[in-house]
Amino acid sequence: MMCIFAWALMGCGGGGSDDAVINGGLVNLAAVDGPSLAGLTFDFTDATIFGFPGESATLGIGDNAATFTLTTSGGTVINGTITAQASAAAGCQLTQNLQEVSAGGKPFVEQYDMCQATVNSQGAILFGASGPGIVTLSFSTTGGAAGASAPENVTLNLREDGTVTINNNATPI
């Protein structure tokens, strides 16, 4: 199944059958391939999608894509967990760690119908080799505006078996 998915991601390369272009690969943040995004930090020029209109934010993806750190330009820092949203196949929920919520305060809990990263190489990559790529993380809600990060520069590793890893993370996409 992974090989079929990897094959669907790749178009024609720069001339040989030993290279491929990764174009439009999708990673669901709260799914089995989510850990491929661990360690990445995404910049959002508009943090409205996180409930902070008029601010920018960075979202750091923690170990196994099970945790996050959201830091806004206004100085808010939220640490929490990422879980799957049962009502949406590509959905997720970001939930603030309860120990961070002040007495009488309401925790940060945001649900999204779509939490996906789009992966593209910046040219052909030889099988068994690495090359530059970009990853953009997007969130959306039904009936609401979507929010997308600026592209994050990464190293894509095209394995001999046709799977792809990001920055040598163990989980392939």
Is the pLDDT assigned to residue 8 strictly greater than 70?
A: no
Give the pLDDT mean for 156-160.
92
Q: What integer pLDDT is reported at residue 142 of this predicted model? A: 85
> Is 101 or 14 the better-scoring residue by pLDDT?
101
Amino acid 113: pLDDT: 93
Q: How confident is the model at residue 17 (pLDDT cuts 50, 70, 90)?
A: low
Flag whether pLDDT at 2 surpasses 70.
Answer: no
11: confidence class by pLDDT, cuts 50, 70, 90:
very low
Q: Which positions ≥6 away from 53 have C-beta within 8 Å?
A: 46, 47
DSSP 22-37: E-SEEEETTSTTGGGG
Check pLDDT > 80 for residue 1. no
Q: What is the mean pLDDT of residues 107-121?
A: 93
Element (H, E) at 131: strand 129-140
* pLDDT at 15 > cutoff 70: no
Q: Which residue has the tokens 């052909």?
A: 124
Q: Which helix (H) or strand (E) holds 9?
A: helix 2-9
Q: Is the separation of the CB atoms in 69 and 77 below 8 Å? A: yes
At residue 139, the pLDDT reads 96
Over residues 56-101, the pLDDT tens digits come to 999 999 999 999 999 999 999 999 999 998 777 889 999 999 777 7
Q: Which residues of 53-78 are buried (b: 16+ CB within 10 A; e: fewer)?
A: eebebbbebbeebebbebbbeeeeeb
**Domain boundaries along the sequence of the chain:** 2-166
